[in-house]
Structure 1
Amino acid sequence: MCGIVGWADFDRSLAAEHAIIRAMTATMAPRGPDDEGVWLDERVALGHRRLAVIDISGGIQPMTVRRDGSVAAVLTYSGEVYNFRELRTELRGYGHTFRTDSDTEVVLRAYLQWGDAFVERLRGIFAFGLWDCARERLLLGRDRIGVKPLYYRLTAHGVLFASEPKGILAHPGVTAEVDSDGLRELLTHFTTPGRTLYRGVSDLRPGHLLVVDRAGARQRRYWSLRTREHPDDLDRTVRTVRELLADAVVEQLVADVPLCTLLSGGLDSSAITAFAAGSGAAGAGVRTYAVDFLGQTENFRPDAVRDQPDTPFVHDVVAHLGGSRVAHRDIVLDTAMMMDPLHRTSVLHANDLPTPMGDMFLSLYLLFRAVREHSTVALSGEVADEVFGGYWWFHDRDAVAADTFPWLHPRHPAAGGGNPIVALLDPDLAALLDLPGYQADRYREALAEVEHLPDQDPGERRMRELSYLAQIWWVPFLLHRKDRMSMAHGLEVRVPFADHRLLEYVYNVPWSMKSFDGREKGLLRAAVADLLPGSVLRRRKSPYPSTQDVRYERMLRTRAREILTDPAAPSAGLLNAKPLLELFESPLESSGFGPRRRSAELVVGLDDWLRRYPVRLLLA
């Protein structure tokens, strides 16, 4: 999947800046363990760390393409273009010749053929920096859904970019600074498109191109989630969903390296696994991996968001699909691994920011480490809940009607509603940040982006808004978590439910069809009903698991109290210690979704971040 960095400057020569571009490139080493390359010219320096997935020997980057005997364009690229073989055949018809079998060369030659419009022909997950030598301009692009990350920082005379903020922060001219808006983004449960915690560092929005040349920087949207009339009846809609999902899975099985699926025993991952196992593209079968915690299945305690453990359902799927088609392994994590300071530090470094979902990041990091021992590519069931309406708040009347992001409605706090840490900030800081006001402004900004059909039923109109909020303002968090924890080990995770053709189609399906059977994700259940065991089809939505081991809770609470009683702690001026200490006097919830446990995770994560990152807080 790779890691990319770059630097363009139209006021100085970069031809000799090897040390700086190599330092930036080095920060991407975990993303690309197989190879490293840089390319420099007068106005641009590009770096690349490679995770070899397609054309192992030929796809080396940065890659150049020549025209009339000289270099015409140079590309540093991360991701996979799934339709690259179709495009290569089409480009050969226009007279292009290819020296490799890689999708990277197809991307380069597609640009030479179609200019900036080439990106609209790419189907896949990607981020790139493309330098046009003759026109002296840099083109940055990102896939439609934002599966692959791309960050940039405009400078006085150009731009810096990277797959992760750390690549930009490695430049000697950049200081890691976090202002009030950065803290607001950290302390709210949504992701404002285009924004990051770090001052001056932007997130290139999915479906966008950024052109940087001597005239400055110009951004253009090439794709968006558009509103259209839905033409199909229920039967045809179910068949189309199945066809689109099956095609997305088969297309994403293309790889020249070992591939697997991540299996939780839920509807989404089980459907992906069933399609993969039944595909000839999977060869003799498919590897599957599931995560569990030592002793948790045997001693599971139901809570507000999970009534059953995953493992029995995982095993039901494996048995249903058959041992000859599925080679399964449970990855069982010991809590001691979760408590290891080295692992916590590694997760922080991979993530570039603290999180209130600490143990879920930790376990995902450790799961991906184990998977990477046997596979280089994995398929995941993420994004199905946002596309098909799987979350509780799609089905709660009060949450649907709430004048805010529905997942922030306090009716069901254990499922993520609310964030009590914001009420326990230092009072002066809380007044400065005005998080309720910031949240309300972003919510109005989000709603203004939604297109509606004329004379649409008010109920359908509101559900379209919720679908848009979920896919544009919540999905980025999930994709960020997946990308950072997987690429920390050089594991490429693909997301078939994020196929833009599937998203475009299902987004315009009326809510009455999506929930025709009175259950969450009813449309998806109908589309895959013949593929899965009854236990999985009957199972209600269950989120990614969290450890219930009391040792983890005790460790977390002890560490939070140490921080709050240390006057020299870097977070001391940010938190209102007294109510937090009172909160942590008694045991926290057994689940990582509990509000007090999330508060403790954020206290610990915030302190670690300020200690280990050279962050300057600019609060005024």
Structure 2
Amino acid sequence: MCGILGAIGTRWLDAIPGVLNTLTPRGPDGYGIVHSDAAILAHRRLAIIDLAGGTQPMQSEDRRWNLSFNGEIYNYRELRAELEATGWTFRSHSDTEVLLQGWRAWGEALLDRLDGIYAFALWDVSARRLILARDRIGIKPLFYALQDKGLVFASTLSPFFALPGFPQRLDPEALRDYLACQAVQAPRSILRDVRQLPPASVLTFEQDTARATTRRFWQPSAPHDTAPFFEDALTEVDAAVRESVRRQMVADVPLGAFLSGGIDSSLMIHYMAEAGVKPLKTFNIRFPQVGFDETPAAQAVAARYATDHTVIDAPAIDGAAFEAAIAALDQPLADPAYVTTHELSRLTRQTVTVAISGDGGDELFAGYPRFAQTEGHFPDSLKRRLVRAGTRSGWLPGRLTRHGLAGREMLLYRHVELGPFPHSRKDMSRYLEPATLSAAHPNDTLELWRDLALGYGAGMDTESLMRADLWTYLSEDCLVKTDRASMDNSLEVRVPLLGNPVLDLVLDWPARIHFDADGGKALLRALARSHLPENVWNRPKHGFSVPLQHYFNGQWSTVCEEHLARCEEIAPFLNAPAVRTLWHSAKRGKASRRLAYTFVVLLIWLARHPISS
């Protein structure tokens, strides 16, 4: 697990070595730089596999191919054996060299064979061609900028802030997406001149023509019409998750697991114990507030599998720790669980270098109630049309907006904190200055999510809603949270529920396989009943979050107030009085705490990363 950086044919070629240190937390164990023609590739390494022989950037024997790679290829041993059988030779025992030789052997077809988490850059000296690629679900990040008829790429946005003279301009549409759903959505970044490579994408840049083309190499499959018998499906899921966990145990460094006490992370412990991981070290966060703490369930799982369990008390996250965690982000992310995941990662890294997480279970196995609330649940009617006309014309109060929405528009309203909903509590225009609002195009809020959701049929049904979340909420919020929190602490986190054996199996099935009389996530709940203590599966669902109102009125209050007081200075594109009014109402429990947190995170981040509008 590493940080990658490079440039092809731009004025920043000579600056790349000097900004490589911005990626040091992602790769504290060493670095490498390769100059080749009008290209430079750089790398910071967190050593996980082949500690002595996996140094990067890696070059082919003839020096034509140069690779800088972030991630892990879990099936690299099988791929290596296949390559060796056809005559390819290897100088190391690393997955990096398998990736390099695999591309030489199979070209882009290699991407269909990879099971892993990755973002990589491959420079072909002879063809003067750069290849960038990112894994199926976007577990590992990759940013790039087309500048000066050349290209700059990096694992995160951080190097772009350090490049001398690089434009630091706000992307209003990225701001719109952030305010709507608390995370910037690929392909945008918060910087107007930088883009994120979307998940499951490969970019080809030809230096001679300065032309870049991007395409998807993988799509979530459309589900089959028929579902297997539930017991048969359960047997197959059990085997697929077991295999995915087994593959992801490969490491030459200490390995542990996050254990929240929920079904997903607890199942990871079960399969890790089955795979014979010893000692099995587990870690969880303990909250003092009722309704947020899952420590008793986590301790029950730890006791069943005799893990070496560590409990971390959440109150240690004071205002200074909160501010530092937000400032460490490469772009704003307002998922409240990021801060606790950051603290969990910091303390976990004191013991292990790799941790297993249960991320992806809710998205892949229908764990959110919203997946069952399709556009058909909100049919239009005369009453809705009258209310809709009344709120939009102003003769009915804006607080009635949601009572006039139907179908897809209602799903959009329920999915966002802010959007194109005039006079309502979710009216984005309330918080943005007019020029920024116009440039943000609020009517296009969640355009990517809508396009994805409509890509699997005529309407927004459960199957399409689940698939839309894979490349939006999961990839740009949940996985960003885990990647940034862990890698800022030099910890690699793996997510077996999103491994190929599980994805390839579950995405083929219709959504109804995931639902029973108790709601969604039926398959994972059934596995939990088979393998885990009753107090893990026989209780209400918990999300991994934090008690925001408690922190707003306690340990984080001073930091938040200080930044809100400077709102006009830090973010002149915001309506500062409206933001402060929201904050004070949220502290009293009278407004959206999540939205107030969204603005606080933005202000703290902008104070450390000033950008122009």
Give me the TM-score of the superposition, normalised by structure 2. 0.87
Query: Contact conserved, 2:332 with 2:605, CA < 8 A, in 1?
Result: yes
Matched, 1:25 2:17: no
Q: Structure 2 residue aligned with 1:43, among 38, 43, 59?
A: 38
What is residue 602 of structure 2 aligned with on the other side? 606
Question: Deviations 1:445-487 (Å, cap 9, x if unpaired)?
Answer: 23343357xxxxx8xx711111112212211211111100100
What is residue 332 of structure 1 aligned with on the other side? 313
What is residue 196 of structure 2 aligned with on the other side? 203
Q: Secondary structure at 2:180's aligned position in 1?
A: coil
What is residue 363 of structure 2 aligned with on the other side? 386
Deviation at 1:355, TM superposition (A): 3.7
- Within 5 Å, give how 1:419-430 maps onto structure 2: 422=428, 424-426=430-432, 428=434
Q: Secondary structure at 2:461's aligned position in 1?
A: helix
Q: In the alignment, residue 118 of structure 1 is paired with which amino acid?
A: L
Matched, 1:369 2:361: no
What is residue 304 of structure 2 aligned with on the other side? 320
Deviation at 1:595, TM superposition (A): 5.2
Q: Secondary structure at 1:147's aligned position in 2?
A: coil
Query: Contact conserved, 2:360 with 2:498, CA < 8 A, in 1?
Result: yes
Q: Structure 2 residue aligned with 1:445, among 436, 445, 451?
A: 451
Q: Structure 2 residue aligned with 1:353, among 331, 346, 354?
A: 331
Distance in 2 (alpha carbons) for counterparts of 1:422 and 1:231: 42
Unaligned runs of 5+ in 2: 379-406, 419-423
Q: Structure 2 residue aligned with 1:64, among 38, 59, 64?
A: 59
What is residue 468 of structure 2 aligned with on the other side? 469
Unaligned runs of 5+ in 1: 453-457
Q: Structure 1 residue aligned with 2:274, among 267, 278, 282?
A: 278
Deviation at 1:585, TM superposition (A): 5.8
Q: Secondary structure at 2:339's aligned position in 1?
A: helix
Distance in 2 (alpha carbons) for counterparts of 1:411 and 1:73: 44
Q: Structure 2 residue aligned with 1:596, among 584, 592, 596?
A: 592
What is residue 527 of structure 1 aligned with on the other side? 527
| Shift in CA distance, 499/451, structure 1 to aligned 2, threshold 3 Å | farther
What is residue 185 of structure 2 aligned with on the other side? 192
Distance in 1 (alpha carbons) for counterparts of 2:567 and 2:204: 47
More displaced stretch, 168-177 vs 148-157: 168-177
Deviation at 1:193, TM superposition (A): 3.5
Q: In the alignment, residue 344 of structure 1 is paired with which amino acid?
A: F
Distance in 2 (alpha carbons) for counterparts of 1:94 and 1:411: 52
Q: Structure 2 residue aligned with 1:212, among 205, 226, 229?
A: 205
What is residue 232 of structure 1 aligned with on the other side? 228
Query: Contact conserved, 1:188 with 1:435, CA < 8 A, in 2?
Result: no
Matched, 1:100 2:92: yes
What is residue 401 of structure 2 aligned with on the other side? none
Distance in 2 (alpha carbons) for counterparts of 1:579 and 1:369: 32
Query: Contact conserved, 1:391 with 1:541, CA < 8 A, in 2?
Result: no
Q: Structure 2 residue aligned with 1:289, among 262, 271, 283?
A: 283
Deviation at 1:388, TM superposition (A): 0.7
| Shift in CA distance, 419/102, structure 1 to aligned 2, threshold 3 Å | farther
What is residue 148 of structure 2 aligned with on the other side? 156
More displaced stretch, 397-406 vs 230-239: 397-406
Question: Deviations 1:162-199 (Å, cap 9, x if unpaired)?
Answer: 00011233322422211321221221116533222211
Distance in 2 (alpha carbons) for counterparts of 1:582 and 1:71: 58
Query: Contact conserved, 2:261 with 2:298, CA < 8 A, in 1?
Result: yes
- Count of residues in Structure 1 that have an aligned counterpart in Structure 2: 575
Distance in 2 (alpha carbons) for counterparts of 1:350 and 1:537: 35
Q: Secondary structure at 1:374's aligned position in 2?
A: coil
Question: Deviations 1:48-88 (Å, cap 9, x if unpaired)?
Answer: 0000000001000111111xxx3121110010000111111
- Within 5 Å, give how 1:375-414 maps onto structure 2: 375-396=352-373, 401=378, 402-404=407-409, 406=411, 408-409=413-414
More displaced stretch, 462-471 vs 265-274: 462-471
Query: Contact conserved, 2:433 with 2:573, CA < 8 A, in 1?
Result: no
More displaced stretch, 157-166 vs 510-519: 510-519
Query: Contact conserved, 1:228 with 1:508, CA < 8 A, in 2?
Result: yes
Deviation at 1:596, TM superposition (A): 3.4
Distance in 2 (alpha carbons) for counterparts of 1:586 and 1:104: 49
| Shift in CA distance, 595/351, structure 1 to aligned 2, threshold 3 Å | farther
Distance in 2 (alpha carbons) for counterparts of 1:501 and 1:533: 26
Q: Structure 1 residue aligned with 2:244, among 238, 244, 248?
A: 248
More displaced stretch, 105-114 vs 429-438: 429-438
Query: Contact conserved, 1:194 with 1:205, CA < 8 A, in 2?
Result: yes
| Shift in CA distance, 81/543, structure 1 to aligned 2, threshold 3 Å | same
Distance in 2 (alpha carbons) for counterparts of 1:233 and 1:191: 40
Deviation at 1:130, TM superposition (A): 0.6
Give me the TM-score of the superposition, normalised by structure 1. 0.86
| Shift in CA distance, 408/352, structure 1 to aligned 2, threshold 3 Å | farther
Query: Contact conserved, 1:355 with 1:605, CA < 8 A, in 2?
Result: yes
Distance in 2 (alpha carbons) for counterparts of 1:77 and 1:276: 27
- Across the aligned residues of Structure 1 and Structure 2, the Cα RMSD in angstroms comes to 2.8
Deviation at 1:422, TM superposition (A): 3.6
More displaced stretch, 171-180 vs 467-476: 171-180
Q: Secondary structure at 1:153's aligned position in 2?
A: strand
Q: Secondary structure at 1:504's aligned position in 2?
A: helix
Q: Secondary structure at 1:75's aligned position in 2?
A: strand
Matched, 1:4 2:4: yes
Deviation at 1:210, TM superposition (A): 0.7
Distance in 1 (alpha carbons) for counterparts of 2:416 and 2:602: 27
What is residue 65 of structure 2 aligned with on the other side? 73
Distance in 1 (alpha carbons) for counterparts of 2:35 and 2:347: 37
